[in-house]
């Protein structure tokens, strides 16, 4: 009986030890789980704090971005209002420019039509001097001024006097051509200057003509203009006294112009001086090295006496 009680006690103690061991194991496992959970919660808390910090930073950035966007939206709205005003002004300017463009197009069309009209016209030519119906004295230089114009360009201008060719000009396609020449009439009478121009298309202008009269200088004016008239009269009187004879006919005094004198000298002094005489003189002078063998003696003598 006593051994049974001891056995029961031992078994009870063993059971108690087993229960305590189980409780210890259970408590240890629970502590380990609590430690793990605490570590997980600490990690989770750290993560949440980090996430909260990031979220706070993102929120700050978002708020700053929102503020910037609000400012940008306000600026954009102001710019939009300004652009709308500028658009209205631009539209008004565009309407004005369109109207101006229409006017310019009409002007260009009118100019093109006028250009075609001008290009289709024949060349224009006029005698600016002498005046039509004017009078001159024999051997008096007459200034002849002719002007021709054409939009395409002038290629030739012809000037005739009394239907005889006088001057011809080849023009390098000039739109305006003017020329001044001197004509010295040597005989009295009626003179007519006829001019005509040709453009690059070969189209001729109408003939522009001017008439003028050339008269002899009256005798009384010749005497008044001749400072040697008294001297010649005295010489003629002295010659008559020396000879003892009166002239059977009155002496007619003729005043020669420079051109007439040159013609008289050429006809009187150079008529007998032939080209052969000029060659002989050149050979003689060249033999003494005074001249070159190819010297133009005939031209030199003519120029000298002229």
pLDDT (tens, 9 = 90+) of the chain, 306 residues, equals 556 777 878 888 888 888 888 877 877 787 778 778 888 888 888 888 887 788 888 888 888 888 888 888 888 888 888 888 888 888 888 888 888 888 888 888 888 877 777 667 889 999 998 889 998 888 888 999 999 998 888 999 999 999 999 999 998 888 889 999 999 998 889 999 999 999 998 889 999 999 999 988 665 545 555 566 666 677 777 777 777 777 777 666 666 667 777 777 777 666 677 778 888 888 888 888 777 888 888 777 777 765
Residue 275 CB coordination number (10 Å): 9
For residue 74, which phi and psi values (nearest 5 degrees)? -60, -45
SS3 195: strand
What residue ranges do the domains of the chain occupy?
124-216, 220-305
Beta 208-215 vs 189-199: how paired, if at all? antiparallel
Looking at the DSSP bridge assignments, the partners of residue 199 are 154
CA–CA distances in Å: residue 259 to residues 138, 253, 291: 12, 18, 30
Torsion angle (degrees, nearest 10) of CA 97, 102, 103, 106: 160
Q: Provide the 8-state DSSP code for 254.
A: -
Nearest 5°: the CA angle 92, 97, 100 is: 130
The matching CATH number, chosen from 3.90.740.10, 2.60.40.10, 3.40.50.2000, 2.160.10.10, for 124-216 is: 2.60.40.10
- With b for 16 or more beta-carbon neighbours within 10 A and e for fewer, the 202-218 pattern comes to eeebeebebebebeeee
Task: Specify the residue for token string 């200034």.
Answer: 143
Whether the pTM exceeds 0.85: the reply is: no
Looking at the DSSP bridge assignments, the partners of residue 143 are 182
Q: Which of 262, 257, 245 is nearest to 302 (CA)?
A: 262
């Amino acid at each position: 009986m006593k051994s049974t009680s001891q056995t029961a006690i031992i078994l009870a103690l063993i059971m108690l030890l087993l229960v305590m061991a189980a409780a210890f194991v259970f408590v240890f496992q629970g502590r380990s789980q609590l430690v793990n959970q605490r570590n997980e919660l600490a990690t989770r808390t750290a993560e949440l704090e980090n996430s909260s910090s990031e979220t706070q930073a993102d929120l700050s950035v978002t708020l700053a971005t929102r503020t910037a966007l609000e400012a940008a939206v306000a600026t954009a709205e102001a710019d939009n209002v300004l652009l709308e005003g500028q658009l209205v002004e631009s539209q008004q300017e565009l309407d004005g420019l369109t109207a101006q463009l229409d006017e310019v197009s009409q002007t260009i069309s009118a100019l093109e039509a006028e250009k075609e009209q001008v290009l289709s016209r024949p060349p224009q030519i006029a005698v600016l001097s002498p005046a039509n119906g004017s009078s001159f004295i024999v051997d008096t230089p007459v200034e002849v001024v002719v002007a021709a114009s054409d939009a395409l360009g002038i290629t030739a201008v012809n000037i005739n006097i009394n239907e005889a060719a006088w001057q011809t000009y080849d023009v390098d396609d000039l739109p305006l051509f003017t020329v001044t020449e001197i004509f010295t009439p040597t005989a009295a009478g009626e003179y007519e200057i006829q001019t005509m121009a040709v453009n690059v298309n070969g189209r001729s202008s109408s003939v522009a003509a001017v008439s003028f009269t050339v008269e002899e200088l009256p005798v009384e004016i010749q005497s008044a203009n001749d400072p040697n008239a008294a001297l010649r009269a005295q010489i003629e009187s002295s010659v008559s006294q020396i000879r003892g004879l009166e002239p059977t006919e009155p002496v007619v005094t003729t005043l020669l112009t420079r051109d007439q004198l040159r013609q008289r000298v050429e006809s009187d002094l150079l008529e007998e001086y032939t080209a052969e005489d000029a060659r002989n003189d050149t050979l003689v002078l060249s033999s003494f090295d005074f001249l070159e063998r190819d010297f133009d003696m005939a031209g030199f003598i003519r120029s000298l006496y002229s």
